[in-house]
Amino acid sequence: MNNMRNYIYKIVLSAFCVSLLSIMNVVAQTTVSGKVTDTSNLPLVGATVTVTGTTIGTVVDLDGNYTITIPAGAEKELQFSFIGYTSVTKKVTGSRLDVVLQDDNVLLEDVVVVGYGTMRKSDITGSVASVKLSDTEVNQVATFDKLLQGKAAGVQVVTGNSAPGGAVSVQIRGTTSFNSSGEPLYVVDGIILNSVSQDVRNPIGSSGQEAQNALTSINPQDIASIEILKDASATAIYGSLGANGVILITTKNGDSDKPRIEWTTSLELANASKKIPVLDFNGFLEYADAIGYTIEDRDFLQAIDWQDYTMRTSISNTNRLTISGRGEKSRYYIAGGYLTNQGILKNTDVQQGDVRMNFDADVAKFLKVGTKFTFTKRVNNMTQGTEPGGTQNATRATNMMRQMLGSKPYLLTDLAESYDDEAIRGTDIWLQNYDDISKENRINTVAYADVTFTKGMSFKTTAGIDFRDKSRTRWYGQYIDNARNGRAGIAELNALRWNIDNTLNFDRDFAKYHRINVMVGMSLSSNLNQNITVEANDFPDHEFRAGGIKTARSISPGYSEDKSALVSYYTRGIYSLKDRYILTATYRADGSSKFSPGNKYSFFPSFAFAWRMNDEPFLKEVSFLTNLKLRLGWGQVGNQALSPYQTLTTYSSIKMADPNSNYDLSDNGSFLIGVKPAILANKQLRWETSEQTNVGLDVGLFKNRINVTVDLYNKSTKNLLQNIDIPPQAGFSNMWVNRGEIQNKGIELTADGVLIDNRDFSWSLGGNISFNRNKVLDLGKPAGQWGSIYAPAFLGQDIGNDNTYFKMPANIFIEGYPVALFYGFKTDGLVSEADVASGNLPTYRGKPLEAGDIKYVNVNNDDQLNDINDADKTIIGDPNPKFIYGFSNNLSYKGLTLSMMFTGVYGNEIVNGNLLQEEDTSPANPASNINNIRSDAFYKAWTPENQDTRYPRLRKTNNSGDFTDRIVEDGSYLRLSNLTISYNISLKDKWIRNIGLNLTARNLFVITKYSGWDPDVNSFSSGSQKIGVDWGSYPSAKSYLLGLNMTF
């Protein structure tokens, strides 16, 4: 901080001295004024104008104007310079001198951040996407992953939970694993972040835990650039860390000679983008009568819409202050901010504060040092949605979303005789009796030193730390879980990841046409995770909720710790001939503590070639062709996506009933604590390996005003790490093995263009589209019978963990088929009266069907029983999209800008598991209790008079828990994600340099056939065996944001 003050003092003092000298020499001086602009005639604010041979200088103002005085005796010559532009020197022949600076392509356009360094864009041989960011855009989002959606070809961003702080899934070029989340590696300023799927352990084993977003420590307003490494020739430099792609983030630093102060603030109002059409009060009474449910005391019922009651207009606010600048040999960037992000469901919100400090300095001609530090403090309140929890009592919903949609749409007054808590409280059961509160402190810091030995040879050392201290407290009150008389869980996570990288770089031109760049490096990294959990049941007093955990009658503590380390050696060589033919080769060796001796090390090579065809003599005369580059690449990367110690025999505690307490297994019994083997070790485990080939073409037309990039790729991942089920006689339920292979292949297209670009008006368009096809090539297991399918296969994980709905897998993995297909019963509408009369109607699990029941397809005719059973299960859908896309439109007139961003997905299907309850007109015991349902399930139900419908008769025969294609829906959509109108006002001779105003509408409309809250959903974003399922998802929001940005 003192250094920064000194730099400011120096600038102020220099300005004062210049002014004093000017007054003393006023008689003999020459005053020159003018304007400095770029080739688009836009002012270059902050450009430097100096008198040649002196230290006298000035800075261009907001309109591009400058005035400078040349003292007597000085050469009448001015030097003009600005970062990213070629400096020029001009002779002074009068009192007016206007200058146009040209882009310095090497500094501005051609430098791209890659693994462990930077490269000229013209030297890029792999598939690397740069995400373009605007100041208005980054000021409007709470987490940076939202900046990726629709911005880069081959990158799919899917919302796991729309709640504030909810998880988001990012995949690059498809699914590559059966067990890991498939998330890319995130590197921020050289810091390798902890896994984004990492969270505290679930302290309540019988209840699910909502996934949360682990990328919140990166404030979008601090980001200078985002580069996405997609193919193996680009990611191989990261070896075993780069199997799922790499996202490189570089944060800002000071670039203004004067201290630059910016303040941004925004206010956002949001509402639910839609409501689920369930029965209203009168409709529910009709429905109850129709199925024989008795509702007494009807005169004392008060109608209520639980969606309106539970949802709200949320108000969110962000504030951020940044101070940045540069001195003669140093640069600084300091930022701090606070946000409150309120959810559209009551009791959901995020509050976060963060501080960032970036400094670097040239301490000597040969030495540059720097440090970047971020501290984030975050509090997140969530509700129970995707993962069911709470009571198993059929009279109460098992999560908040079911409670909101399934509660009876009325309240009972005190005068009613049939007075029950559920009917009185509705969603208040969850609002007043459930807590899910996360608190996290996170530190990201990096320090580096860059030593230049000679021209073209340098050494850089970098050390980075990512530390997370997170706690999560959950509470289930008596109305949710009265069987346990209150239940609480507290979990803590301390996660420390550090990496040290050392690289030696050599860059030299030889003769006239040859250029060589060589980098060799060595890295060390380590992860240490400590997890503490406490589960407690049976609370004598509920007033203190989880805070009274020490008073609980049953307390079960837990502790786990794991550590892993990685040592890596790597090199990258680039040879360029005539800047036309470029060859890149990388090689990395990784050694991991997760594997046994003999399998610890693996090696990852890559080769790539680029040909800049536009520099060939036969294309020189094609004036409109600015760039034409062919890229060819091949490489291997790895994955060690398994928990530590799987090659070692580990032990865990076991609680056994004490014989002296008559083997009483209840909480009142006495127990003995013992030790047992925890896993079945497999010393033969080795790395997953992904091999990828990429062919790309880059085209630039009309001085790069139009750019097109096409990539074709083929990626195969072998020796997949799988946690397989094993026979119970082994004494364990599962173990890790290497087996299986997945293939992803596809094509990506990106195009952008500046259609109009003049002084007052500009119009640009951009877009991308990606096609990916995946296939399970090998499972490493024999063929078996899976319903009507005979093939090597295995099922995914059960979707629900309660006893009512969807306690079965939705996905199946079959050799020779796409990944994670939906597996269940195929249907053919409803049973008609003619079907019943024909006598050929199959039975359903041995029961005869009636007209109006769901008509299942008898896929398996081999049993000759004409019965629908599990042997008739088959493929009923595909969660993999045919293509994903995004496109933008930007128009600017003077200071006014209109920008639009569209995103979309086509050809995927979604399992809307919520319909199992929302359309269930066959409650198990209607005399005891019923839930509210969707309106069409009642009003359009099959009757003899209404046979042309998709909704079965009330009290149908078929099991409502079956997974059928009736809940598999088209997930395609086109969304207007953002519509922004912004206006920038430049102020002359004011202490405020610039004011920017913007109004943004988000999620204005979605074109889709999906009947759930939103088609952008994957409720189980942290896993790879529950894919494409909407299960209790949080409602999506439509919002309006007003933002203000002021520069001082």
pLDDT tens digits along 679-723: 888 899 888 899 999 999 999 999 889 999 999 999 999 998 888
pLDDT digits (tens, 9 = 90+) for 315-349: 999 999 999 998 888 999 999 999 999 999 999 99
Provide the β-strand partners of residue 811: 822
Q: Is residue 78 part of a domain?
A: yes
Residue 366's pLDDT band, with cuts at 50, 70 and 90, is very high
Q: What is the pLDDT of residue 214?
A: 81
Q: Average pLDDT over the chain, rounded to whole?
A: 86
Average pLDDT over every residue of 144-168: 85
Q: Is residue 616 part of a domain?
A: no
DSSP state of 1034: P
Q: Is residue 26 part of a domain?
A: yes
**What CATH code is carried by the domain that includes residue 77?**
2.60.40.4130
Q: What is the pLDDT of residue 208?
A: 66
* H or E, element range at 22: helix 2-24
Which of the given ranges, 264-278, 405-419, 643-657, 837-851, has the highest pLDDT on average?
264-278
If we measure between CA atoms, which residue out of 485, 37, 391 comes closest to residue 399? 391
Let me know if 790 is exposed, middle or buried by CB neighbors in 10 A (0-12, 13-18, 19+): exposed
Q: Is residue 658 part of a domain?
A: no
CA distance 864 to 874: 18
CA distance 453 to 477: 66
Q: 44-53, 532-541, 631-640: which range is least confident on average?
A: 44-53
pLDDT exceeds 70 at position 409: yes
Average pLDDT over every residue of 258-263: 90
pLDDT exceeds 80 at position 5: no
Q: Is residue 29 part of a domain?
A: yes
Which of the given ranges, 158-162, 192-196, 237-241, 393-397, has the highest pLDDT on average?
237-241
Residue 482's pLDDT band, with cuts at 50, 70 and 90, is low
Q: What is the pLDDT of residue 678?
A: 80
pLDDT exceeds 60 at position 26: no
Let me know if 623 is exposed, middle or buried by CB neighbors in 10 A (0-12, 13-18, 19+): exposed
Q: Is residue 1009 part of a domain?
A: no
pLDDT exceeds 80 at position 21: no
Portion of the chain with pLDDT greater than 70, in percent? 90
Centre a 10 Å sphere on the Cβ of residue 800 and count the other Cβ atoms it contains.
21
DSSP state of 841: P
CA distance 433 to 989: 58
Q: What is the pLDDT of residue 506?
A: 94
Cα Dmax for the chain: 115
Q: Cα-flanking dihedrals φ and ψ of residue 619, to 5°? A: -115, 0
pLDDT exceeds 80 at position 1: no
pLDDT digits (tens, 9 = 90+) for 787-818: 999 999 999 988 876 556 788 899 999 999 99
For 260-281, b where at least 16 C-beta lie within 10 A, e where not — what string?
bbbebbbebebebbeebebbee
If we measure between CA atoms, which residue out of 220, 142, 315 comes closest to residue 1039? 315
If we measure between CA atoms, which residue out of 93, 103, 183 comes closest to residue 1021? 183
How many distinct structural domains can be found in the chain?
1
Which of the given ranges, 735-744, 753-762, 763-772, has the highest pLDDT on average?
763-772
Higher pLDDT: 35 or 180? It is 35
The pairing of strands 843-844 and 867-868 is parallel
Contacts of 289 (CB under 8 A, 6+ apart): none
In order of 363, 585, 930, 1046, the CA distances from 326 in angstroms are 14, 37, 68, 20
Q: What is the pLDDT of residue 483?
A: 67
Higher pLDDT: 629 or 23? It is 629
Q: Is residue 519 part of a domain?
A: no
pLDDT exceeds 70 at position 388: no
Rg of the Cα atoms in the chain: 32
- Which one-letter amino acid corresponds to residue 26? V
Range of the domain at 57: 20-100
Q: What is the pLDDT of residue 803?
A: 55
Q: What is the pLDDT of residue 282?
A: 95
Higher pLDDT: 213 or 245? It is 245
pLDDT digits (tens, 9 = 90+) for 850-892: 999 999 999 987 656 788 889 999 999 999 999 999 999 999 9
Q: Is residue 346 part of a domain?
A: no
Higher pLDDT: 523 or 807? It is 523
pLDDT exceeds 90 at position 1038: yes
pLDDT digits (tens, 9 = 90+) for 556-577: 888 889 999 999 999 999 999 9
Higher pLDDT: 8 or 979? It is 979
Tell me the pTM: 0.85
Average pLDDT over every residue of 121-129: 86
Contact, 435 vs 207, CB < 8 A? no
Q: What is the pLDDT of residue 516?
A: 94
